Amino acid sequence: MFTNLTLRQKFIIQAVLILLALLYLVPLSNVVISSFAVSGFRNYTFLFTSGFPVIRMIFNSLFVSFMQVSLILLVASPAAFAFSKIRFPGKNALFLLIMLTMSISMLCFITPLFQTMKFLRWINTYPALIFPAATFWMPVAILILRNYYDSLGTELLEASMIEGAGFFTIWSRIYGPLSRPATVNVIVFAFINSWNDYLNPLLFSRTEEMRTLPLAVVSLTSSIHGARPEVIYACLVIMAIPSIGVYMIFQNQLGEGMTSGAVKG
């Protein structure tokens, strides 16, 4: 279906696609156009020069995302390798347990998380913006990476073991590098997830200096900065560029993660 088409069928398909595209283009372009309303590009310069700590927030977003992605890879990759290739008692039960936590919202643990952060003296610090959200995304990363390690087979493992290599070497030298396609998926989706995250900073950042970009918009709408709508739209455009950009750049390398890892939030 839809591969051998008459001219009329092609026309209908094209028309429906354009209609659907308009439903997406109108709201999205409205944001971009509104960001230039009233004073044009000066909305953007105003955002950076009005005393609003947007540069700090951009830095926070970049730093927190970078740390979250690194932490996720560092923890999830060896775990996924173990669940795929190493035999140890209780393995299946542990894996099942991890998968069952995947769908739970972080919000459900608002009080215990807050108490833990208070105990660690982490409230309004970077670790509090990094660890909880990263941990809650790790099961997804483990699922994506484990599926890929499973597809790699055990021949290399057996050959390396005969040569006396330990599991750490086998993971870090052989299977880790071989899992590059799945790792790219994890990096891209973990980055998008972290860059866009609203809940974690909402719960644990207290001052403007410790806010990430998703909360910048909230600051702009409600605070002393009392920004005009067009400035808020400019901020949205800045926020959207990295996540759309990363997706566009890696579009052709994403497959696995889009179907086995994308989780609605």
At 134, the amino acid letter reads A
Q: How many other β-carbons are positioned within 10 Å of the β-carbon of residue 171?
A: 22
Dihedral of the alpha carbons of 173, 92, 102, 140, in degrees to the nearest 10 = 20
- Scan residues 124-153 and list those touching other proteins (CB under 8 A): 131-132, 135-136, 138, 142
> Which residue among 20, 55, 159, 249 contacts other proteins (CB under 8 A)?
20
User: From the CB of 40, what's the least distance to other proteins, in Å?
Assistant: 18
Number of residues located near other proteins, criterion CB under 8 A: 94
248 binds other proteins (CB under 8 A): yes
- Scan residues 179-198 and list those touching other proteins (CB under 8 A): 192, 195-198
10 binds other proteins (CB under 8 A): yes
User: From the CB of 203, what's the least distance to other proteins, in Å?
Assistant: 8
Q: How many other β-carbons are positioned within 10 Å of the β-carbon of residue 23?
A: 9
66 binds other proteins (CB under 8 A): no
CA atoms within 13 A on the CB side of 127: 9
Task: Assess contact for 160 and 169: CB atoms under 8 A.
Answer: yes
> Which residue among 25, 38, 55, 249 contacts other proteins (CB under 8 A)?
25
User: From the CB of 55, what's the least distance to other proteins, in Å?
Assistant: 19
223 binds other proteins (CB under 8 A): no
64 binds other proteins (CB under 8 A): no
Nearer to other proteins, 53 or 257 (CB): 257
Strands (E), the chain: none
Whole-number Å distance between alpha carbons of 80 and 146: 5
Nearest one of 265, 227, 234, 247 to 58, comparing CA atoms: 234
113 binds other proteins (CB under 8 A): yes
